[in-house]
Amino acid sequence: MTHDVFIVRPETTLATAVNLLRRHRIGSLPVIKDKKLVGIITRSDILDFVLSRSRKRTPPQGKQAKKVKSGKKRK
Q: Would the pLDDT of 74 be above 60?
A: no
Look at the chain and count its residues: 75
Q: What is the pLDDT of residue 57?
A: 72
The neighbouring-strand residues paired with 36 are 33
Percentage, residues of the chain above pLDDT 70:
76
Task: Give the 3-state secondary structure of residue 10.
Answer: coil
**Sign for the pseudo-dihedral over CA of 33, 39, 44, 50:** negative
- In whole angstroms, what separates CA 28 from the centre of its chain? 13
- pTM for this prediction: 0.66
Q: Quick one: which of 10, 14, 12 has its CA closest to 22?
A: 14
42-72 per-position pLDDT tens digit: 999 999 998 988 877 766 565 555 555 656 5
Q: Domains of the chain: which residue ranges?
A: 14-56
pLDDT, average across residues 28-49: 95
pLDDT, average across residues 3-29: 94
